A and B are shown apart, each in its own frame.
Chain A
Amino acid sequence: MVRIKKNNPIISFLIIAAALFFLHLTGLLRPIENFLSYLVRPIAGRFYNFSSDIKSSYNANNNPEELGAKVERLTKEAAILTIANSRRLEIEEENRKLRETLKFAGTGSSRLVVASVIAKEAATEDNLGLIINRGAKDGLIAGLAVVSEEGLIVGKVLETKDTTAKICLTTNRNCQLAAAIQNSDKTQGITDGDLGLTIKMSYIPQLEKIAPGDIVITSGLGEHIARGLVIGRVSQVKNESNEVWQEATIEPLIDLDNLTIVSVIIP
């Protein structure tokens, strides 16, 4: 007969682990979990920011030429965008006046929940999600759009806990968004992350005209994501004559590795 020692550490471990598991499943542990999570959020946020700074300087040191070319391209773009922005402001003002004249009720208001990134799920290919310090208690649900400080969509909420939520980035695999290209054909499709670096838009009919530089936005066909949030810019089009579909590679407009503050749009 197998004799179990009275003070066996394995048995003690399993009993405590089972108790924790049971308390977690029944929700009895939730107040303690929420309290601990709330307690460490500021420290975790600081650690994350520090780590993010290291990552940015590491990336910058590794690609100095690429960085130089990027600065040059962005300077040119900034000039073009300044002109475009002044036109947009004029149109916006005109739109406001027309709405007032027509007594248009508007398209409804959305709420922004600002959040800090406090951790990363794990360092594996499957788990590239980021953890933010807002959760179900703040009104977050799965599928909501996550935008950067600049207002560009960077991902969506995957799962929520009471005080935290897991978000996926647009460059992560299986982070799909209903998208539309701002071209003459108003091409629609689904974007998906590609190796955590770029975004891919597949199954685009051959007849649609897409060109590098076209801006890709959310199409509004996603359940909780409004139309018009900028996803990125088409950098490459894969168009083989013998294929039924063409594929576009989209480059995010900001570096998603350096996200520390994001906002979740609650429609």
Chain B
Amino acid sequence: MLKKIGQIFFLVLLLSGVAIVQFSFIFPLPTIYSQINLAAIVLVFTLFFFDFRSALYASLILGFWLDLYSFNFFGFYLFLFFFTILLANWILKTWLTNRSLYSFLLLILLAALAYNLFSGFLSYFSGTSSGGFFLWRASFWSNLFYGALWSELAGLLMFSLAGALTRRFQPFFLEKK
């Protein structure tokens, strides 16, 4: 029981750290690097290597922290992560048949695309966006491109790290005897 509580506490702390890094470190970086979406990558990682339930709870913690900092309406990030994870889980269950690196990278790519689109729609319909519809802006597409590129690289790094740190995430093969 105590071990379980300790694990939960550690995960909450870790996810809170991710949220702070996203808001205070990544967003202020030069524009092309500020598109790294660490929070979404961590969520996809949780979904891919653990389960949907863990990913949802992780999105709750990350969403809460980001909503705490953000001046968007409260629930902006909670909804954003919820929809992203919901879609990523559907893709994982219906499209992807294995848990290889390629699947992981594809999932990250699609999650980055979904996150940016949901974020654009939420900003647009909540009235926080200015200067026209986001899909017609060149900056949206360039941000999406860099976001996807960095997410893929980060995904590659995380997959390799996870493989090196624990056997749980390493691929296995069924051999005929």
The distance in angstroms between the C-alpha atoms of A126 and B99, with both chains bound, is 37
CB of B22 to closest CB in A, whole Å: 9
Query: Do the beta carbons of A119 and B24 come within 8 Å of each other?
Result: yes
- Are B71 and A123 in touch, CB under 8 angstroms? no
| Contact pick for B23, options A10, A12, A120, CB 8 Å | A120
- Count class of interface residues, chain A: 35 or more
Please report the C-alpha to C-alpha distance between residue A9 and residue B82 in the assembled complex, in whole angstroms: 11
Bound complex: CA of A173 vs CA of B131, how far in Å?
Answer: 9
Stretch at the interface among B3-11, B29-37, B105-113, B152-160: B29-37
Q: Which residues of B contact A13 (CB under 8 A)?
A: 56-57, 59-60, 82
**What CA separation (Å) do A17 and B86 show in the bound complex?**
15
Closest chain A CB from B139 CB (angstroms): 5
Q: Are A17 and B75 in contact (CB under 8 A)?
A: yes
B60 touches A17 (CB 8 A): yes
Does B53 sit at the interface, judged by CB under 8 A?
Answer: yes
Interface hits, B48-70 → A, CB 8 Å: 52-53, 56-57, 59-60, 63-65, 68-70
Query: Across the interface, which residues of A come within 8 angstroms of B24, CB to CB?
Result: 43-45, 47-48, 51, 118-120
Q: Are A123 and B25 in contact (CB under 8 A)?
A: no
Residue of B nearest to A130 (CB): B28
A125 at interface by CB-CB < 8 Å: yes
Contact, CB under 8 Å: A47 / B71: no
A159 at the interface (CB under 8 A from B): yes
Assess the B143–A55 pair: CB atoms within 8 A.
Answer: no
Q: Is B29 in contact with A21, judged by CB distance below 8 angstroms? A: no
Q: Hey, which chain A residues are within 8 Å of B100, CB to CB?
A: none
Interface residues of A (CB under 8 A from B): 9-10, 12-13, 16-17, 20-21, 24-25, 33, 36-37, 40, 43-45, 47-48, 50-52, 54-55, 58-59, 118-127, 129, 131, 158-159, 161, 164, 166, 173-174
